[in-house]
Structure 1
Amino acid sequence: MIARSVMLALALFGFGAAAEPSQFNFGDECELSLSYDIELERDSLEVSDAGESLYRIQGDQLWVRGKSVDLDASQRTLVRDYHAEMERQLPKVVELVNDALMLAGTALDTVFTELSDFGLDPSQGTDVMARIQDKVNASMRTENGGIRLSANAMDNFSDELDQTLETEIESVISASMGGMLMALGQAMSEGDSGDFEQRMEDFGTRMERMGERIETEMEAQATALEQRANAMCSEWQQLDLLEQKMQRQIPQLAEFDLVVQGDPELAMLR
């Protein structure tokens, strides 16, 4: 009895933690990372490292480590263009993350609904994703409603989401274990042991079919997300080229390589 209950829990863990729609990155072949943290407010862009402001851009004005930098017309144009491109790209990152979460939530709702016969409340799937959404929003939004993107956020989002999802599901399972055991006990009391064995085999088949159905239903949407991520990667690569040009023409920014393609350790050699 206990062993079968544990197997039931593990089945749910597997579907939750391994759901493909939870994966998010800038495409499988996109080697892109951020060296520092970015905060985009209504009229300013700030790049910082562990809470220390490195530089701030407001329109065509630039401050480096808190000190204003005198710029000529060409430099002001570069700074303004860079700021404008960040204003265009950062909201797209947030939108893609939210869409990935919505897709993961749809898959999770299906899992919890399928397992409602075993003591799980179908609404708990929605509750789990709502808590995850709150955590993601807290990490990507500033106090003033701006956008925050931390260093390595592009690399770590998928792993952090899977870890958070697994933790939340484990919490739900622990809280619901009593109801699950009661449901299993009732199933066992309604027939002989052979009937119960058959029910558990049917449950396993049901879970396999559910996984196949989720994969089929989500495949097109997951592919569309991947295509958007690949397109975004190309745009950020162009943003990196603009940043490199700005670094070359404004010496005060030369040491701050924010957007990095490939190995971050080799960024200084560019």
Structure 2
Amino acid sequence: MTTQLFKSIFIQLTILLLFFHGFGLKAQEQCDVQLGHGLIITEDVIRIVDRGQTRVQINNDNQLFIKGRWKVLDEQNSQVLRQYSLGLRDTVPEIVSLATDGVNLGLTAIEQVVTGFSDKEPEVLKDQLKYVEQALMERFKKGDDFFYIAPQSLSKLDDFFEKEISGKIHSAVHGSLGAILVALGDAFESNEGNIEERISGMGDRMDIIAKEIDRSLQLKAEQLEMKAAEYCGYLKILDETETQLQQIVPQLLEFDLVQVK
């Protein structure tokens, strides 16, 4: 029975990783758009940042500052600025939310699976998941009213999820599996309760958790797949609006944000 349990652990965690890998890939299908600078969006302010410094700032969707200097626009040009600002607000926060929520969903699922077998979350898992979260936050950050996206190619996000994030998750899972096996071995040696009942209970919990993970990640994958083309379309329209705004304020060319390849 012990061998069957160990086999079940490996199979279920492998399925989990495959689902996680899948929705990361579908999120950015066919999206040949580059963000040339970092972008921070809050309730009242949009900031285009470069090397930690704000280069372009839009206040309340109607005031434009470049390198700290206010650019006065007439009513017609202010409408272009507003269209650009609202376009960023309509698109970027949702991209950030789906990216961070997707990863967090996968991390929570892993924690549920591991805790289901070991009755506690191994320290090695906590440590490894910190590296996953750190890698994510370098690209995407989200607060109560704060969204950040780093300069990056949106057509390369599949590589980010597939290689970097997935690799770190593999490390976390493999380390946790070792901790689970050690914990089970200790339990056998110390005769803690009815071990066979404990193993059977873990199997039942695993089945329930696996089904919920399956359902949740599949829904997320479908949602991201449907949104992928929509994001690209919005960003390409946004690039056109940005080009129009650059014609009005040529200084903005230095801080070209949305770049369609």
TM-score, normalised via structure 1 length: 0.66
Deviation at 1:165, TM superposition (A): 2.2
Classify 1:171/1:86 alpha carbon distance in 2 versus 1 (closer, same or farther; 3 Å).
same
CA distance in 1, matches of 2:26, 2:247: 29
**Residue 246 of structure 2: aligned partner:** 247
CA 1:184–1:10: 2 relative to 1, 3 Å = farther
> In the alignment, residue 121 of structure 1 is paired with which amino acid?
D
Indicate which of 60, 63, 71 corresponds to 1:61: 63
Shift of 1:247: 1.3
Residue 93 of structure 1: CA displacement? 1.6
The letter for the 1-side match of 2:225 is E
Q: Which runs of structure 2 are paired with 1:178-193 in the superposition (5 Å)? A: 178-182=182-186
Q: Distance in 1 between matches of 2:79 and 2:178?
A: 57
Q: Counterpart in 2 of 1:195? A: none
Tell me the CA shift for residue 148 of structure 1. 1.0
> Hey, what does 2:119 align to over in structure 1?
121
Q: CA deviation at 1:251?
A: 0.7
Residues 106, 22 of structure 1: alpha-carbon distance in 2 compared, 3 angstrom cutoff: farther
Cα pair 1:35 1:152 within 8 Å, conserved: yes
Counterpart selection for 1:79 from 78, 81, 93: 81
Structure 2 residue 260 is matched with structure 1 residue 261: yes
- Deviation (angstroms), 1:218: 4.7
Is the 2:96–2:142 contact (alpha carbons within 8 Å) kept by the matching residues of 1? Answer: no
Tell me the distance in 2 between the aligned counterparts of 1:162 and 1:211: 19
Pair 1:45–1:9, CA change in 2 (3 A)? same
| CA contact 2:58–2:85 (8 Å) conserved in 1 | yes
Mapped to 2, the partners of 1:101 and 1:239 lie a distance apart of 26
Alignment of 1:160-199 (within 5 A): 160-182=164-186
Aligned-pair CA distance for 1:55: 0.8
Residues 165 and 259 (structure 1), Cα distance of their counterparts in 2 relative to 1, 3 Å cut: same
- The question of whether the paired residues in 1 share the 8 Å contact of 2:38 and 2:149 is answered with yes
**What SS does the corresponding residue of 2:227 show, helix, strand or coil?**
helix
Letter paired with 1:255? E
SS at match of 1:255: helix
Q: Pick which of 210-219 and 16-25 moved more.
A: 210-219
Q: Decide whether aligned partners of structure 1 residues 13 and 107 sit closer, same or farther in structure 2, where only a CA change above 3 A counts.
A: closer
Once residues 147 and 99 of structure 1 are traced to their aligned partners in structure 2, the CA distance between those partners, rounded to angstroms, is 13
CA distance in 1, matches of 2:104, 2:74: 46
Asked whether the 8 Å contact 1:26–1:232 carries over to 2, the reply is: no
Distance 1:211 1:5, change over 3 A: closer
Does the residue aligned with 1:163 lie in a helix, a strand or coil? Answer: helix
Q: Which AA in structure 2 matches 1:260? A: Q
Normalization by structure 2: what TM-score?
0.68
Q: Distance in 2 between matches of 1:122 and 1:173?
A: 13
Give the conservation status (yes or no) of the 8 Å contact 1:26–1:230: no
Contact kept in structure 2, 1:5 and 1:181, CA below 8 Å: no
Highest relative contact order (Cα 8 Å, sep 6+), 1 or 2? 2
Question: Counterparts of 2:219 and 2:17 in 1: how far apart (Å)?
Answer: 20
Structure 1 residues 11 and 65: CA distance shift in structure 2, 3 A: same
Bigger Rg over Cα:
1
How many Å separate the matches in 2 of 1:224 and 1:12?
Answer: 23
The equivalent residue for 1:37 is: 38
Superposition RMSD in Å: 4.4
Q: Does the 8 Å CA contact 1:22/1:161 hold for their aligned counterparts?
A: no
Q: What amino acid maps onto 2:177 in structure 1?
A: I
Task: Tell whether the 8 Å contact from 1:37 to 1:149 is kept in structure 2 after alignment.
Answer: yes
Residue aligned with 2:119, SS: coil
* 8 Å CA contact 1:22, 1:104 repeated in 2: no
Is contact 1:54-1:65 (8 Å) kept?
yes
Q: 1:38 & 1:217 partners in 2: Cα distance?
A: 30
Answer whether contact 1:40 1:148 (CA < 8 A) is retained. Answer: yes
Q: CA 1:133/1:90 → structure 2, altered by over 3 Å: closer, same or farther?
A: farther
Q: Letter of the aligned partner of 2:173 in structure 1?
A: I
- In terms of mean alpha carbon deviation, does 17-26 or 82-91 score higher? 17-26
Would the alpha carbon gap of residues 33 and 26 (structure 1) be closer, same or farther in structure 2, given more than 3 Å must change? farther
Please state if 1:150 is matched with 2:150.
yes
Give 5+ residue unaligned stretches, structure 1: 187-202, 263-270
Q: Distance in 2 between matches of 1:62 and 1:94?
A: 24
